C-alpha cells in the first residue's frame, strides 16, 4: 500500500530510495514492483544490512511493515539514525518494547506515525463528530462487538500471528484498531481492564468434528485438504504463489500452516470490560470464526444512544465470501422521547471504507489536504494507548484479575507524554 501510493500518487513529492526485507525472493519481487521506467531501479538490502541502508541511502523516513514483534527494533534504530517513522499497527506488542520506543523518542525527538486507517473512514469519522457534538449528551457506556469471518479470521491462525510472542495475540494485533477507535471516539484513555479469552474453534478437536483426523501440518501437503473448507491453495493464487510459495526455499517460512494445530498460542474468543478515565465503561467482544464479518457498536448517552453497524461480508460458504453492498453501513440515532432516526452515512471509495486514500493523503501530502479538525493522526502516545488495553487484557486473562493500567506503566517506568 505505501509503496504503490508513493509511486503512483505522490511521486512528485516523495521517492523510495531503498527496500529492505529478510527474504531475498520477496525483496526482488518488491524491487521490480517499485522500479520506475527510465531509472536504475531501487536499491535493495537484506534485513541484516539495515544499518548500511541507512548509512548509504540516508532516508528521511522509514516505513516499518514487519511482523509486529520487530516494530520496536526498527523504530528505535531509525530514530537513532535521525529518521522519522511510519509504522503499521500495532506500535509494538508488549511493555518492554514499548519502553524502548518511548525512551528513544524522548532521546531523539524523532516522530512515528501509526497508521490507524479506521480513523479516516467517513463512517467512523461521523461517529466521532456525533459524540463530540453532544448529540447523545455524555457518553456513559459502550458495547462493541467485532466479528472476523472464517476466511479473514482463520488467516491469523495459519501464519506468524498464531504465536503471541510474534503478535501479542489478537487483543494486540487486531484489537489495537478497535481500542484506538474507542480512545479517539471518546477522547479518553483506559484505566482498568478485566478480560477473558480462550481458543474454542481453531483447535484439533474442531478438525476431528469436521472429519479431518488425518490432516497434515500445512495445506500444501495435507492428505485431506480437498475436503477442508479452510484450505489455502497458494499454487492457484498468483500473488500468494509469488510472495510465499516461491519464497519458501529462502527462509522456510510457510504461509499455509494448519489452522487446527495444537501448537497455536493465541485465543479466538475474547471479551474485555474496560474502564476509562472519563468514567465511561465499555464491553468488548472479538470472535475469529463468525459466519459474517463486521462490527456492531452501541453508545449509551444521557440524552439517547447511537447504534452503528457495518456488515463487511455477509457470510462465508465453503470458503467463498459474499461481500456486502454499499448500504451495509448503518447508523441510528435514538434520542429519549423521540423515534429512532437512521442517519445518512457518508461514503468514499477505497479500501477500509474509503479510509486508505484519505490517510495516505495526510501522510504523504498534508499541505494538499484540508486541516484535519478530527485530529486523526496517531503518534507514539496514541499508538501506546491503543495497545495498552490489549496488553492489559492479556495480563488479565493470564492472572484472572483486574489490571490497573497506570500501575502497569509505573512498574515498567513508562511515562506517556508528548
Q: How far apart are CA 71 and CA 76, in angstroms?
A: 9
How many separate domains does the chain show?
3
b/e sequence 257-277, b meaning 16+ C-beta within 10 Å: bbbbbeebebbbbbbbbbbbe
- Quick one: 52 and 153 in the same domain? no
Residues 250-262 have a mean pLDDT of: 97
Tens-place pLDDT, residues 28-84: 999 999 988 877 789 999 999 999 999 999 999 999 999 999 999 999 999 999 999
- Quick one: 197 and 236 in the same domain? no
Last residue of a domain, one of 64, 92, 114: 114
- Quick one: 11 and 141 in the same domain? no
- Quick one: 290 and 150 in the same domain? yes
Supply the CATH number for residue 109's domain. 3.40.50.720
pLDDT for 350 equals: 81
pLDDT for 318 equals: 67
Q: How far apart are CA 328 and CA 311, in angstroms?
A: 5
Supply the CATH number for residue 132's domain. 3.30.360.10
- Quick one: 51 and 186 in the same domain? no
118 within 8 A of 125, measured Cβ to Cβ: no
Q: Is the residue at 355 inside a domain?
A: no
- Quick one: 225 and 283 in the same domain? no
Confidence category of residue 324, pLDDT binned at 50, 70, 90: confident
Above 90 in pLDDT, residue 347? no
Q: Is the residue at 312 inside a domain?
A: yes
- CA-to-CA dists, residue 149 to 289, 319, 340, angstroms: 5, 10, 30
Q: Is the residue at 149 inside a domain?
A: yes
Q: Is the residue at 363 inside a domain?
A: no
| Mean per-residue pLDDT over the chain, rounded | 95
Q: Is the residue at 260 inside a domain?
A: no
Q: Enumerate the H helices of 269-379 as residue ranges.
A: 351-364
For the entire predicted model, the pTM comes to 0.96
Q: Is the residue at 240 inside a domain?
A: yes
Q: Is the residue at 365 inside a domain?
A: no
Q: Is the residue at 362 inside a domain?
A: no
Last residue of a domain, one of 114, 138, 158: 114
Q: Pairing between strand 84-87 and 112-114? A: parallel
Above 70 in pLDDT, residue 134? yes
- Quick one: 66 and 183 in the same domain? no
Q: How far apart are CA 119 and CA 336, in angstroms?
A: 28
- Quick one: 387 and 303 in the same domain? yes
Least confident of 184-193, 300-309, 316-325, 383-392: 316-325
Closest CA to 7 of 90, 75, 63, 68: 63
* pLDDT > 90: percent of the chain: 92
Above 70 in pLDDT, residue 319? no
Residue 62 CA to chain centroid, in angstroms?
A: 19
Last residue of a domain, one of 185, 220, 251: 251
- Quick one: 62 and 91 in the same domain? yes
Which grid cell is 326?
454499499
Q: What size, in residues, is the chain?
A: 418
Residues 223-234 have a mean pLDDT of: 95
- Quick one: 165 and 237 in the same domain? no
Closest CA to 293 of 271, 272, 316: 316
Which grid cell is 292?
459474517
pLDDT for 343 equals: 98
What residues make up the domain containing 217?
Answer: 212-251
For residue 137, how many other CB atoms are within 10 A of its CB? Answer: 15
- Quick one: 83 and 183 in the same domain? no
- Quick one: 110 and 124 in the same domain? no
Amino acid at each position: 500500500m505505501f509503496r504503490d501510493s508513493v509511486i503512483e500518487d505522490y511521486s512528485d513529492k516523495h521517492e523510495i530510495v531503498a527496500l529492505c526485507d529478510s527474504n531475498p525472493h520477496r525483496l526482488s519481487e518488491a524491487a521490480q514492483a517499485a522500479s520506475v521506467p527510465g531509472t536504475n531501479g531501487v536499491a535493495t538490502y537484506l534485513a541484516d544490512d539495515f544499518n548500511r541502508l541507512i548509512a548509504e541511502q540516508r532516508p528521511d523516513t522509514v516505513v516499518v511493515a514487519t511482523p509486529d514483534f520487530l516494530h520496536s527494533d526498527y523504530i528505535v534504530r531509525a530514530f537513532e539514525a535521525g529518521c522519522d517513522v511510519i509504522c503499521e499497527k500495532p506500535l509494538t506488542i508488549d511493555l518492554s518494547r514499548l519502553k524502548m520506543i518511548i525512551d528513544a523518542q524522548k532521546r531523539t525527538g524523532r516522530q512515528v506515525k501509526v497508521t490507524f486507517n479506521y480513523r479516516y473512514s467517513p463512517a467512523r469519522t461521523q461517529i466521532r463528530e456525533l459524540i463530540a457534538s453532544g448529540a447523545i449528551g455524555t457518553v456513559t457506556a459502550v458495547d462493541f462487538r467485532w466479528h472476523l469471518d472464517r476466511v479473514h479470521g482463520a488467516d491469523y491462525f495459519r501464519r506468524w500471528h498464531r504465536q503471541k510472542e510474534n503478535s501479542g495475540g489478537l487483543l494486540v494485533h487486531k484489537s489495537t484498531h478497535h481500542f484506538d477507535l474507542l480512545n479517539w471516539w471518546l477522547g479518553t484513555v483506559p484505566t482498568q481492564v478485566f478480560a477473558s479469552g480462550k481458543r474454542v474453534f481453531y483447535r484439533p478437536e474442531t478438525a476431528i468434528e469436521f472429519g479431518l483426523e488425518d490432516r497434515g501440518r500445512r495445506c500444501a501437503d495435507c492428505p485431506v485438504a480437498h475436503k477442508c473448507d479452510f484450505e489455502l491453495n497458494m499454487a492457484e493464487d498468483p500473488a500468494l504463489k509469488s510472495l510465499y510459495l516461491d519464497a519458501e526455499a529462502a527462509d522456510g517460512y510457510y504461509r499455509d500452516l494448519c489452522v487446527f494445530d495444537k501448537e497455536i498460542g493465541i485465543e479466538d474468543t475474547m471479551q474485555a470490560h474496560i474502564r476509562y478515565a472519563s468514567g465511561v465503561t465499555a464491553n468488548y467482544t472479538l470472535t475469529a470464526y463468525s459466519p459474517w464479518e463486521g462490527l456492531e457498536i452501541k453508545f449509551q448517552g444521557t440524552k439517547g444512544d447511537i447504534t452503528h453497524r457495518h456488515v463487511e461480508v455477509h457470510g462465508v460458504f465453503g470458503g467463498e465470501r459474499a461481500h456486502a453492498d454499499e448500504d451495509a453501513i448503518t447508523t441510528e440515532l435514538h434520542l429519549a422521547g423521540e423515534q429512532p432516526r437512521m442517519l445518512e452515512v457518508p461514503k468514499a471509495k477505497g479500501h477500509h471504507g474509503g479510509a486508505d486514500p484519505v490517510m495516505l493523503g495526510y501522510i504523504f501530502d498534508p499541505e494538499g489536504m484540508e486541516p484535519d479538525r478530527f485530529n486523526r493522526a496517531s503518534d507514539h502516545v496514541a499508538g501506546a494507548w491503543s495497545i495498552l488495553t490489549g496488553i492489559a487484557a492479556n495480563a488479565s486473562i493470564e492472572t484472572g484479575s483486574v489490571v490497573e493500567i497506570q500501575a502497569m506503566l509505573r512498574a515498567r517506568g513508562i511515562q506517556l507524554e508528548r
